[in-house]
Structure 1
């Protein structure tokens, strides 16, 4: 099978990510004696500068990792929580029925920094100064502007110049949209990270002490003070069409910290897939596997009409349960054991018929409990008065202001057998106004909450929004095997599933599975403002056999054929079992920026 690039094979280390500069940075850390955790942290910070339209320092990151010494998979939750003042009544009192998709009202505590620091402290070996040196250099000296970065800034240029002047000062050098291929720097961000290092080194002579001091500077020091002041003293136009200030306070930041959790898992054809808890959409991947375990996908044939139809219909059922049942388990009772149980999935599996379901969502009733969905009607758009959706979703922003799911991802495996899968996102340059003292903006993850009481994902002070960010890890025959994931908002746990099934049932290698044509359903509500849904609609790349597309349409699917190489952004690394013990990697060719490196 033709592939756009080789599947990399070696035995020293592998890094795969959505940008070549991050992959090169991670590999350079491995070459200089760092482990997978050091490499992932350094690469993760570089992504903030290399792909500023897809993530930033004010965003969040969930991480799945395998530590060879501990012989276990751990989840690092870098998803910040809603401010103490963020209540449904507070928002509806402003005349809102959705959390705006841009601006300060949608900000949660920025969790990425805390998560990277927690991983570095507990499992890494490098110092804070060492892992931040690459991002400081790139922020100070500049990076080449991607076509998509230039296109994103162009799409929000008017908003920046008219409504968000602090963002215009950062992202419109000399008052113009930077050209693709030009050099773009962020010296204010470089100064922020330099100050963090200086304060950390002044506070402690030890590696661990410096990491703790940097975390303190971020959540209780100068960074927190600048964030709190910006939220309290400024107000900006957002996607509601109105001007609002922020709700985040110094107390919100000081009271939060990243946590380590055990993953949720599901065993499928000799593989154990690990995902985050239901504060993310990750369990939907596992629910799809639970449903698909009762079908003979291998017998159907890879990318046949039967194969695609079955996967799409199971996706609709799993994501209906996401809408009805998922939320922060610290604030909602989520019946995950039942949702992944065989009895429940046997009942749900019977709903998959020969024709497509194009009707209302069909969540299940685990343990006899009645599901509850939002009262917003399918296909509802933004409230009256909304002027623009630019920057509202998990980007990239199209030229007409519409958004398409995307973010960042990176995977690492080192010679010791340690592995990392991380999906940083949020705080992208177009999400909210740049904080001029820091050189970055806050995230907008709170737009994923519903402004209705009584739902698992209702807005609650101190709760994590049910994020779309969803890194993946899999063991094979009980041995650590693959770290993988993709950007893509709501599509992440469909595209990642397609990739995984292409390897398990299609017999494809990593690069072949990355390159394979992708498809997904848009049947369920988007997690992003304005929370639209498109019942019965599925998208598929035009490289799929046209006869298969016609058969899917005959079965009732509303198929929208997309151009070649337009869906999916997968990357992955694997670790073979002995005796070979080879490490492998593959990265996404779509968009001409993802790359893998290794030897």
Structure 2
């Protein structure tokens, strides 16, 4: 199937996101005189409203951006840390071998609001009212409910009715699940946004003072109080089959502010790719590029068996290093410089053979011994309800057999001033944690990605950032931003976006055509989300792959699983063409939901 969407181009602004309403909000903000930072934030808050099954106000977001005025790339880390009370012993004393993927035990500090506020304070131009008014309008007046959200609510409705009553009040209007496409409202969430604005606008001073006041209201005021009151007094049924309290407190929120960091980056030909650091999985994108730099991909041909095999085998090596070495660098030994070094990469590249690798092979950077956590599943009673099987899987989506799962959100923006922003919001999913009474949103459950084994960079512990799967990308050429992109997809993000980037960088496709190329990924390594399953040698490929290529891959030892065509990922991208002085936008047709705009 040839979807054949055009690459969009313009001179004023370019936007792409995983939902048409946030894209429209972002363009509206640009038209009101805002810049890319203002527009991305406005879209981010609308995403919290219209994709509640994929992200929320209680979730997290990494943001990578380029500011024309300074000529610098920076990362705002909106991955909130674990609570002070987060210890391995606190979880193990419950008889658990894993941190459950649902409930309150895996809850971390909500980082998304602080990250958007930090970015706006430093780089935005518009008052906070103009940033939040779109989200407030959709939460208060309604929006068409996505089929995926309606599906999740319907499946989880019995749990909401019997165990999570505040979720029932928000998501079961009139006592029943809303239909897909129906006009859905979340007035409680709208009131939370409005109260944040009321407290912001009550302080004297300009926009910076108001942003600081809104942040204080969230992390030290009424939002933190609501979270503290609920988590400290409520036992919640979770994936264990039991009711457990959480560890998060209002003080944990008060102690946190979104940090700004230098990016992790790597040169690939004429391109310099910037990513968040190893507290996310993002550097696996760079490790894959470093490995692939030693192969002549162009001569292999896009979508050929040689190409797919080589890319998949490089992914296996990069993700093996993720399993052994990635985590919060403030609390563990993460030798990222060595992992990206030419000598280490060359050594690792020799492991790629003509046959598919069958085992996980992490490296030994600087002679260090790799530590890959062992994932021991907890014994749980048989599930009598379908929703119990769902909350035992930590993914935000309702999991169905033989379904290509995409989750999370993306927004990317480029403006006429030369700024560019890429963000991948997630967390706070309606499926995984109950709604906070009076707040209208759920907490994020990202701590489930951590291990209960001591001594690993991603070990569970106080005030540590869980290793996130969220992975936005920003690319420079000759020191200027030319590309920003991201996709939903959990562990698979840095494989699906890699295919997009290689289609542009190696094969010269325009942005839209690159989003429509054949997608594939390997599930060779342990999933970040509970129950942390892996499928060694598995290679998932869209069904429109050439049958001869599929057969060739199978002869090489790959266990090829075919999924429906155009079903893997939802890449969103914006770019800049300095020679023609144009801004570019593209959105994958997958999911019939992403939307790009340029003018």
Match of residue 492 from structure 1: 493
> How much does 1:375 deviate?
2.5
Match of residue 309 from structure 1: 309
> How much does 1:206 deviate?
1.4
Decide whether aligned partners of structure 1 residues 370 and 399 sit closer, same or farther in structure 2, where only a CA change above 3 A counts.
Answer: closer
> How much does 1:129 deviate?
1.2
Counterparts of 1:156 and 1:546 in 2: how far apart (Å)?
Answer: 39
The ranges of structure 1 where at least 4 consecutive aligned residues each deviate by more than 6 angstroms after the TM superposition are 400-403
Match of residue 145 from structure 2: 145
Counterparts of 2:378 and 2:41 in 1: how far apart (Å)?
Answer: 37
Counterparts of 1:74 and 1:268 in 2: how far apart (Å)?
Answer: 19
Counterparts of 2:304 and 2:516 in 1: how far apart (Å)?
Answer: 17
Aligned residues of 1:423 and 1:486 also touching (Cα < 8 A): yes
Structure 1 position 538 matched with structure 2 position 534:
no
Structure 1 position 11 matched with structure 2 position 7:
no
Counterparts of 2:328 and 2:456 in 1: how far apart (Å)?
Answer: 11
User: Structure 1: 5+ residue runs without aligned partners?
Assistant: none
Aligned residues of 2:97 and 2:377 also touching (Cα < 8 A): no
> How much does 1:398 deviate?
3.3
**What are the Cα deviations for residues 504-526 of structure 1, in whole angstroms up to 9, with x where unaligned?**
12221111111111000000000
**What are the Cα deviations for residues 133-166 of structure 1, in whole angstroms up to 9, with x where unaligned?**
1111100011101111111112212221222121
Counterparts of 2:382 and 2:80 in 1: how far apart (Å)?
Answer: 27
Listed as ranges, the matches of 1:250-261 within 5 Å are 250-261=250-261
Match of residue 363 from structure 1: 362
Counterparts of 1:402 and 1:544 in 2: how far apart (Å)?
Answer: 17
Aligned residues of 1:145 and 1:182 also touching (Cα < 8 A): yes
Decide whether aligned partners of structure 1 residues 403 and 451 sit closer, same or farther in structure 2, where only a CA change above 3 A counts.
Answer: farther
Counterparts of 1:199 and 1:292 in 2: how far apart (Å)?
Answer: 51
- Pick one of 383, 392, 396 that aligns with 2:379: 383
> How much does 1:175 deviate?
1.4
Match of residue 456 from structure 1: 457
Number of equivalent positions? 594
> How much does 1:394 deviate?
3.4
**What are the Cα deviations for residues 278-301 of structure 1, in whole angstroms up to 9, with x where unaligned?**
000000000001111101101100
Match of residue 433 from structure 1: 434
> How much does 1:592 deviate?
1.2
Counterparts of 1:83 and 1:160 in 2: how far apart (Å)?
Answer: 26
Aligned residues of 1:36 and 1:412 also touching (Cα < 8 A): yes
Counterparts of 2:389 and 2:409 in 1: how far apart (Å)?
Answer: 21
Match of residue 78 from structure 1: 78
Corresponding residue SS for 2:475: strand
Match of residue 525 from structure 1: 526
> How much does 1:401 deviate?
12
Counterparts of 1:494 and 1:262 in 2: how far apart (Å)?
Answer: 23
Over aligned residue pairs, what C-alpha RMSD do you find?
1.4
Aligned residues of 1:97 and 1:383 also touching (Cα < 8 A): no
Normalising by structure 1, what TM-score? 0.97
**What are the Cα deviations for residues 335-376 of structure 1, in whole angstroms up to 9, with x where unaligned?**
1111001111111000000000122x1000000111011123
**What are the Cα deviations for residues 87-118 of structure 1, in whole angstroms up to 9, with x where unaligned?**
00000001111111111111000000000001
Aligned residues of 1:151 and 1:398 also touching (Cα < 8 A): no
Aligned residues of 2:104 and 2:245 also touching (Cα < 8 A): yes
Match of residue 167 from structure 2: 167
Listed as ranges, the matches of 1:150-549 within 5 Å are 150-359=150-359, 361-376=360-375, 381-385=377-381, 387=383, 388-391=388-391, 392-398=393-399, 404-549=405-550
Counterparts of 2:543 and 2:258 in 1: how far apart (Å)?
Answer: 42
> How much does 1:57 deviate?
0.2
Match of residue 29 from structure 1: 29
Structure 1 position 47 matched with structure 2 position 43:
no
Counterparts of 1:326 and 1:422 in 2: how far apart (Å)?
Answer: 20
Counterparts of 1:555 and 1:399 in 2: how far apart (Å)?
Answer: 29
> How much does 1:205 deviate?
3.3
Corresponding residue SS for 1:390: helix
Corresponding residue SS for 1:520: strand
Corresponding residue SS for 1:105: coil
Counterparts of 1:596 and 1:214 in 2: how far apart (Å)?
Answer: 30
**What are the Cα deviations for residues 217-262 of structure 1, in whole angstroms up to 9, with x where unaligned?**
0000000000011000111110111111111111100000001101
Match of residue 62 from structure 2: 62
> How much does 1:381 deviate?
4.7
> How much does 1:413 deviate?
0.3
**What are the Cα deviations for residues 559-593 of structure 1, in whole angstroms up to 9, with x where unaligned?**
10001111011010001123x11100001211111
Normalising by structure 2, what TM-score? 0.97
Corresponding residue SS for 2:591: coil
Corresponding residue SS for 2:590: coil
